[in-house]
Amino acid sequence: MKTASRGAWRFPIIPYGSGGILYGGCPFCGRPSESGAGAFQTACLDRARLQPTMPQRFSPKAPMKLIILDRDGVINQDRDDFVKSADEWVPLEGSMDAIAFLTQAGYTIAVATNQSGIGRGFFTMQQLNEMHAKMHKLVRQAGGEIDGIWFCPHTAAAECNCRKPKSGMVEDILARFNAKAADTYMAGDSLRDVQAAAGAGCRPVLVLSGKGRKTLAESSGELPPGTQVFDNLAAFAQYLMKQERQNAEDGHAACA
Ligand SMILES: [Mg+2]
Ligand SMILES: [Zn+2]
């Protein structure tokens, strides 16, 4: 079977009609296949064919671990006059490493960002693409991967469903990655980020970088129930790493 590798991910390219000859069990679930060693189980093949282009964790027993991040004020420095070019896109201290830690720990990272500067004519799609090329490059240099970027180009006047605090982008990301909302964290520095997260059923996280301190000072009473607060993305990533280690130790303890 051929595999394509993309950063930390390996996902199978389904060998249509080839029988997928390999050694051992089904490449998806690991159990013996009804059609011979190394072949996909019919159920797994059907599942894979439904989403042939999605990155699929090689172990189906591990649920998709997805984290959704706001961009400005979480990953990069925000500006009152909009981040308008790649030059103005400057990573926050520790954020590239934080994404790398999360990638290495098996998380899929998606970005959901309001970019009304497009709708207002402050910058172009070309410039937005250049910012994101820079973001991808710096994240990869740190050893991480951003698996998808969703942005809303509209102004409030468009009354679209994607502009946060609406949950359209978040719901689309969950669907595209086949992730469970209740297992998915979404981190942002504004009230509308945590509102969009909660609206989609995700776990809201407020980081105090960017506008975060202002958000906490002015809107603490409006934060959705269960919102977790961290100093910045690095602190949030460290918290998750600690949780992972704790879960692993609990797992081992349960075996003993
Ligand atoms: Mg923000
Ligand atoms: Zn929109």
Q: Which residues contact 182 (CB under 8 A, 6 or more apart)?
A: 201, 202, 203
Q: Which residues contact 124 (CB under 8 A, 6 or more apart)?
A: 118
User: How confident is the model over 213-250, as pLDDT tens digits?
Assistant: 999 999 999 999 999 999 999 999 999 999 988 988 88
19 — phi, psi (to 5°)? 85, -10
Domains of the chain: 66-249 (3.40.50.1000)
Counting ligands in written order, which one lies closest to the CA of residue 211?
1
User: How confident is the model over 50-78, as pLDDT tens digits?
Assistant: 444 444 444 555 678 999 999 999 999 99
The helix/strand/coil state of 195 is helix
Annotated catalytic, 183? no
In whole angstroms, give the CA distance from residue 125 to residue 14.
Answer: 34
| Residues lower than pLDDT 70 in the chain | 1-31, 33, 35-62, 256
Residue 47's pLDDT is: 54
pTM given for the model: 0.76
Counting ligands in written order, which one lies closest to the CA of residue 207?
1
Name the active-site residue from 46, 72, 80, 81.
72
Annotated catalytic, 231? no
User: What distance in angstroms lies between residue 24's CA and the mean position of ligand 1's atoms?
Assistant: 47
Q: Residue for token digits 């969950």?
A: 174
User: What distance in angstroms lies between residue 157's CA and the mean position of ligand 2's atoms?
Assistant: 10
User: What distance in angstroms lies between residue 193's CA and the mean position of ligand 2's atoms?
Assistant: 14
